[in-house]
Amino acid sequence: MEYAVCYDHSGIQLAWSIFLDVTAFFVIMAPLAAARLIAISRASRADRLQLA
């Protein structure tokens, strides 16, 4: 007995799905990484001002 599938098993569809997943991951992570870099940058500036 064969089971019905709702999606195409072709390589193009798989590659497109992986591409969208990776893109979504970077879209979510990029602002978090930018915020972290800004926080690190501000902390290092404060350290330099205290040493002077």
Tens-digit pLDDT string for the chain (52 aa): 566 666 666 788 888 889 999 999 999 999 999 999 999 888 877 666 565 5
Radius of gyration in angstroms for the set of CA atoms belonging to the chain, rounded to a whole number: 22
- pTM (predicted TM-score): 0.57
Three-class DSSP labels, 3-52: CCCCCCCCHHHHHHHHHHHHHHHHHHHHHHHHHHHHHHHHHHHHHHHHHC
pLDDT at 13: 82
Place of tokens 């007995």: 1
CA-angle at 6, arms to 2 and 16, nearest 5°: 125
Q: Residue 13 has which token pair?
A: 């569809």
